[in-house]
């Protein structure tokens, strides 16, 4: 009796069970892999700038450039050929075009609208995601209008609606509000529908944190100096919070968001996981500029293998439930995956 109990107990584990068996060879590891990364998972963020045949490096993001419209179109063609389903474009505009009201954001001939129109003319079957927020256009670098040091919510939302409609008119496929004003998803949906753009999708940056990892991006779009010592903590989320992210996501889905974005990426995989488990909508994540810069910097010092580290980090997003990932490394990774990484 006693010996039977002992053998049942042994049945439950070692030495019969050896998890290393499934890991013994490359083919076996491939066979049992729970997640896979493909070009379908990647979204390429791109910085555009005025001019022609112009390419200026973003100092804090080695390998990333601000591209004039013609070169951006070329890059987007390359992304398409590598199987990347969508790109997200961000503008770096002249300082003299920035003002307190972000007037250039609602100029139907602005850099973003020009880029979208040019891409639509020569590249088909790739999604164009445009950012809705005022920071690349304001002289103070905030995502909204400012009055007596306060970021105005409802007045900002009105401008965001105009910004989204002109982007849709230029041909944008997905409008991605990254501003974190309250109520903007519903307002944007109504504005797009009223203008005849029922088919334009909204990818909401629903849970966007006031993060220190956006530094290199602000340098790329030229808002660092304008923002100065100010921060975005009255609208972007406090990184101490997690339940609040679920409230943000629930509201944005109720207001009509088609897809949700969690940002930043790797330090916020817990949020991504919770959102994925709670809601049944496509959930994207953004490996932001600071995350990219960290891996690039360590890679250039020889402190880690850049390619392998990016592959691992992007797989970690998939494991945490990401439908897709914004990454500045999208082209390199898609090329690598094609080669059978």
Catalytic residue numbers read 208, 263
CB 89 within 8 A of CB 72: yes
- Among 288, 316, 330, 331, indicate the residue that binds ligand PBG (CB under 6 A): 288
Residue 131 in the binding site for ligand PBG (CB under 6 A): yes
Q: How far is the CB of 198 from ligand PBG (least distance, A)?
A: 25
- Among 47, 137, 197, 217, indicate the residue that binds ligand PBG (CB under 6 A): 217
Residue 143 in the binding site for ligand PBG (CB under 6 A): yes
Q: Which CB atom, from 179 or from 336, has the smaller least distance to ligand PBG?
A: 179
Burial string for 72-108 (b: 16+ CB within 10 Å, else e) reads bbebbeebbebebbbbbbbbbbeeebbeebbebbbbe
Dist. CA 326–CA 304, nearest whole Å: 22
Residue, CB closest to ligand PBG: 217
Dist. CA 6–CA 18, nearest whole Å: 19
Residue 129 in the binding site for ligand PBG (CB under 6 A): no
Residue 329 in the binding site for ligand PBG (CB under 6 A): no
Residue 137 in the binding site for ligand PBG (CB under 6 A): no
Cα-based distances in Å from 239 to 10, 12, 113, 303: 46, 42, 33, 28
- Among 156, 289, 313, 327, indicate the residue that binds ligand PBG (CB under 6 A): 289
Nearest Cα to Cα of residue 318 among 57, 35, 118: 35
List residues near ligand PBG by CB under 6 A: 131, 133, 135, 143, 178-179, 214, 217-218, 232, 288-289
């Amino acid at each position: 009796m006693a010996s039977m109990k002992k053998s049942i107990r042994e049945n439950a584990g070692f030495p019969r069970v050896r998890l290393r068996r499934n890991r013994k060879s490359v083919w076996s590891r491939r066979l049992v892999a729970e997640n896979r990364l493909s070009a379908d998972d990647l979204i390429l963020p791109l910085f555009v700038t005025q001019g022609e045949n112009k390419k200026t490096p973003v100092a804090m993001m080695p390998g990333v450039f601000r591209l004039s419209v013609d070169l951006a179109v070329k890059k987007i063609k390359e992304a398409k050929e590598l199987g990347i389903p969508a790109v997200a474009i961000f503008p770096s505009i002249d300082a003299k075009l920035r003002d307190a009201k972000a007037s250039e954001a609602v100029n139907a001939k602005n850099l973003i609208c020009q880029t979208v129109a040019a891409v639509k003319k020569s590249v088909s079957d790739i999604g164009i995601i445009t950012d809705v927020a005022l920071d690349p256009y304001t002289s103070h670098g905030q995502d909204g209008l400012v009055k007596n040091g306060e970021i105005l919510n409802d007045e900002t939302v009105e401008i965001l609606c105009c910004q989204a409609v002109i982007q849709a008119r230029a041909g944008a496929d997905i409008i991605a509000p990254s501003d974190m004003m309250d109520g903007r998803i519903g307002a944007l949906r109504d504005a797009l529908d009223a203008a005849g753009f029922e088919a334009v999708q909204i990818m909401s940056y629903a849970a966007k944190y006031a993060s220190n990892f956006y530094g290199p991006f602000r340098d790329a779009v030229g808002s660092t100096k304008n923002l100065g010592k100010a921060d975005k903590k009255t609208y972007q989320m406090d990184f101490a919070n997690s339940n609040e992210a679920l409230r943000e996501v629930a509201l944005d889905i109720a207001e009509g968001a088609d897809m949700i974005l969690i940002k930043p990426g790797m330090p916020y995989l817990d949020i991504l996981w919770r959102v994925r488990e709670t809601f049944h909508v496509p959930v994207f994540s953004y490996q932001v500029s600071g995350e990219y810069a960290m891996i690039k910097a360590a890679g250039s010092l020889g402190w880690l293998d850049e390619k392998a580290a990016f592959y691992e980090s992007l797989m970690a997003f998939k494991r945490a439930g990401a439908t897709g990932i914004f990454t500045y490394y999208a082209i390199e990774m898609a090329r690598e995956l094609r080669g059978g990484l």
